[in-house]
Amino acid sequence: MPESQITKNTIFVVAGASGDLAKKLVYPAFFSLFHRGYLPQPTYIVGYARSIIDHETFLNQVTENIPKPADDPTFPAKLERFKAILSYQAGSYDDPAKFQELNIYLESLESNYSGSERNRIFYLALPSTAFVQVAENLKKNVYTSHGTNRLIVEKPIGSDLESALELVHAISQYWTEDETFRIDHYLGKEIIKAIPVLRFANSVTSGFWDSKLISNVQITLNESFGTEGRGGYYDTAGVIRDVIQNHLCQVFSLLAMERPSQLNPTEIINEKVKLLQATQPVNPENVLLGQYIGYLDDPGVPKDSLTATYAANVLLINNDRWYGVPFILRSGKALNETLVEVRIQYKDAPGSLFGNNPRSELIMRIQPNEAISIKLNIKSPGFDSGVVPAELKLNYKAAFPDVFIPGAYEVLIRDVLNGDHATFVRNDELEAAWKIFTPILHYIDGKTNDPRPVPTKYEFGSQGPPELAEFLAAFDATRV
């Protein structure tokens, strides 16, 4: 067992416990881990927020999003056992006295422990504007000297390079890098965690993972819904800050990094940082922006907003493996389907022996329905001597029907307990990612001497801006 692994006597404090993130994602993950026996024993989970609510109301709020399987008669008993470890404390985020009261409450819970070990994990499910003051108050007033302390920080961490560095520096005044876990929940997804294994545990795949054979790589996050009342927040961010600079950039770095010398968090992140540092900042000529028709009708969105709800960004890497290969990171709202996938398109077969055939592809479906598939050209069945594309597909649920596949937040909470930073974002990794996207964000925001770009309108339920096929073709990519 690693020295950094926490196995007993633990309290989780969820700051922002009354918010949607905590109620919809964090507490359901805690429940899943708890009833499967993956949390330390004993464990308490304490919610902390400004809302003044009674105990029963709090329990109802944080358990209403826990899936209730119809075929599990033991579920009600499991839920009651989970509720027994939950509690709530109301308090402000800027008053040290309230955090001192929280500390006294935690000590009362810890009096039930055997032994002297006391471990505390603090989860900041909060707007980033509250990160620093809460991190400071937790360190000064609620930090235990009798065990391990860890701080989990959610995105967004900054809105550009300068603000991200300011936030990282401010938190580092109170919490060390080893104690800090910056979440990007895409790093906890099953297919994302499988990328290093697929790349480095198979000679057949590692042998065709470079510019000699690969034409382009498309990393796609499509959503079939719009902003749905969240336009006020979304308009200050836009699609690149919302999902591309963080989620899709993390997928990009795992796909393109070099083989680490060892499979430990430090070496894995070192290779990701090297890759990001070798990536050119996004050029305005390599970006397609769109805005879906109807976005301006969302409450909170200015009627003259130029915020992009769709973006395709081309990343180019200055190293021997990937020189000349475009990585196309694209995402949008109000599209024809909800889909997250990686699509590696290989170069056309040399010559024209069989005519103009579709390209071979390696496809990693991240959601929905996790799967890995390979598209190849084969002979048409029967007497026909033509060529048809065929797909060899590994569907995770079909292949592993009896295996529990945890959700992203379950994975990440477990990794925090294990002290495993490989699925979290290190400070220099965050900086390198922001350096790639900050110039294009400043251009889009009108903070340069260039005119602010106007996103192309596209229909709700379409594939995106009408120019998408032409844009992709310019980088030798096929729209799918």
- Selecting among 35, 55, 169, 247, the annotated active-site residue is 247
Helices 27-35 and 55-63: angle between axes, nearest 10 degrees: 80
What gap in Å lies between CA 46 and CA 106, rounded to an integer?
A: 8
Q: Which helix (H) or strand (E) holds 392?
A: strand 387-395
What gap in Å lies between CA 276 and CA 287, rounded to an integer?
A: 18
Q: Quick check: is 247 catalytic?
A: yes
On the 0-12 / 13-18 / 19+ scale of CB atoms within 10 A, 244 is: buried
In order, the DSSP letters of 65-119 are TS---TT-TTHHHHHHHHHTTEEEEE--SS-HHHHHHHHHHHHHHHTT-SSS--E
Residue type, 201: A
Radius of gyration of the chain (CA): 24
Question: Helix and strand tally (H, E) in the chain?
Answer: 16, 15
Beta strands in 316-370 (DSSP E): 327-332, 339-346, 361-367
Residue entry with tokens 């929940």:
185
What gap in Å lies between CA 40 and CA 60, rounded to an integer?
A: 24
Residue type, 111: S
Q: For residue 27, how far is the Cα from the chain centroid?
A: 18
Structure-block tokens of residue 264: 């430990």
Which active-site residues does the annotation give?
Answer: 247
